[in-house]
Each structure stands twice: as structure tokens, then as C-alpha cells.
Amino acid sequence: MSNKRTLKKQEICFDDMPSATLKWNINTIPVTNIEKDFKNHKKIAIALLDCLIENDTEAFIEILDSYLRVNKRHLANKAHLARSTVQQALSGHGNPTLKTLAKIVHEAFSVV
């Protein structure tokens, strides 16, 4: 029979750890108006292009999904795609083709 080893639990005490202080005042953090930023089509287009250049597909889908707070059924009808196709393309679990994403982006910018 082999002997089993058991590890002792280490005793950690956070009271002995030094505390950190912030170098900046929390009141100086700039506040952004997300709704206003998402109405600026040029900023969204630049952000989406940057995501494509950096090969950051997750950020691309996240920005596009956030931007498209419009009715996805209406968008799907205008793009001649099934609603489930649009939903899956923007879910992060799907693997949409470039053609599908191009249709969604084209119709999204023409809807607004």
C-alpha cells in the first residue's frame, strides 16, 4: 500500500499585510456617457476597425452587440437573415461568417 501525503493548510493572516494607498483621487476619474458614445457612429466604426486590425474578435462582437440595442428581429428582417442567426452571431458562442457580420453591420448603420 502506498502512503498518501496530505498537505498542511497554510495559515494566512491579512492583518499583517501592508495596506496600499491610491496615487489618484477617485473623484478625478472621468465619467463617460455610454449612450452618447454609442450614438457617435464614427467612434463605433473606428472601434470596430481597431478590433479587426488587432484580431480581437471578442471585443468586436461585444462592441457590436452593445451598439445594436435595437430590436434584433427588425435588424434580421432588414438584413434578410433569420433572427436566430443574428442572435447567435452576436452571442459570443456563434461562429459567424464575415458575410453575415457585414450584413449585420451594414443594416445596423442604415437603420440608425
Residue 45 sits at φ, ψ, to 5 deg, of -60, -40
Mean pLDDT of 47-70: 85
Look at the pTM and tell me if it is higher than 0.85.
no
> Domains of the chain: which residue ranges?
39-111
CATH assignment of 39-111?
Answer: 1.10.260
pLDDT bracket for residue 14 (50, 70, 90): low
The pLDDT score that the predictor gives to residue 76 is 83
Report CA-CA distances (Å) from 72 to 20, 25, 31, 32, 54. Answer: 46, 41, 29, 26, 27
Q: What is the pLDDT of residues 61-101, one digit of tens each?
A: 888 888 776 567 777 888 888 888 888 887 777 788 889 88
Mean pLDDT of 37-48: 80
